[in-house]
């Protein structure tokens, strides 16, 4: 399929109700309002196509950018392309999901994420922390730099309160990811989570709340999932 053909398919899948919901969460135009579940029926037809994904992303359409992440392979991206995706993300569902997924699949993902979290742009720093969460959730503990992750936990503890909204949300998610997926640092992550307490983020005109990192980690432990890595973070 070509990019224009995919855009037409996504437009047909869009609904007024889903668009209304996305608007309340802060999604900017242009977008169609397509449910992720509906997107996946199209993903099954296309499977993996990084070239198509890159074309769709350039459209600036929020649905197309999210969809691009579902069909792209992060290994097919240069550092410059990853940086461009982070800067051109239409909204947080793209920067913290699509961009993070692709960066985490890239061999230079860790390096890229560390650079992003030093950005002065909320969308880029949140993408960086989300990428780090994706990496610790999918890579074996033996392949992770545990000392570096400990330092990142300390950075979250010290800097979260002063960080902008979406970065705070992503930092909180990073603590949850470490506590749930990195067994050697589970205790350190839980200590950090308890110290953070309630994290407040402006989520727009919605009933959404920021999950308590300590409570979330406790739930992961209770269901016996702690340390169980995910094959993919794409959803």
Q: Give the three-class secondary structure for 5.
A: helix
Per residue of the chain (235 residues), give pLDDT as tens.
Answer: 999 999 999 999 999 999 999 999 999 999 999 999 999 999 999 999 999 999 999 999 999 999 999 999 999 999 999 999 999 999 999 999 999 999 999 999 999 999 999 999 999 999 999 999 999 999 999 999 999 999 999 999 999 999 999 999 999 999 999 999 999 999 999 999 999 999 999 887 787 889 999 999 999 999 999 999 999 999 8
Locus of tokens 């999210």: 66
d(CA 25, CA 78): 31
Nearest Cα residue to 135 out of 117, 147, 149, 116: 149
Q: Say how far apart CA 161 and CA 201 lie, in whole Å.
A: 10
Question: From CA 82, how far away is CA 102, in angstroms rounded?
Answer: 8
């Amino acid at each position: 399929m070509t990019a224009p053909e995919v855009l037409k398919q996504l437009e047909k899948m869009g609904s007024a109700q889903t668009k209304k919901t996305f608007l309340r969460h802060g999604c900017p135009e242009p977008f169609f309002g397509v449910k992720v579940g509906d997107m996946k029926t199209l993903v099954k037809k296309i499977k993996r196509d990084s070239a198509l994904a890159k074309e769709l992303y350039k459209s600036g359409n929020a649905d197309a950018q999210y969809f691009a992440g579902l069909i792209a392979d992060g290994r097919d991206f240069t550092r410059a392309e990853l940086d461009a995706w982070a800067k051109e993300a239409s909204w947080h569902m793209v920067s913290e999901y699509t961009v993070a997924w692709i960066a985490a699949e890239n061999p230079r993902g860790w390096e890229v994420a560390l650079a992003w979290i030093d950005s002065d742009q909320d969308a880029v720093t949140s993408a960086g922390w989300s990428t780090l969460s994706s990496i610790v959730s999918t890579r074996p503990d033996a392949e992770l730099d545990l000392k570096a992750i400990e330092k990142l936990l300390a950075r979250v503890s010290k800097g979260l309160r002063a960080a902008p909204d979406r970065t705070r949300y992503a930092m909180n998610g990073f603590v949850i990811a470490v506590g749930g997926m990195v067994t050697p640092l589970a205790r350190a992550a839980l200590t950090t989570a308890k110290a953070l307490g309630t994290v407040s983020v402006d989520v727009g005109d919605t009933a959404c709340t920021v999950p308590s990192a300590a409570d979330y980690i406790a739930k992961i432990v209770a269901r016996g999932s702690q340390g169980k890595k995910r094959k993919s973070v794409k959803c």
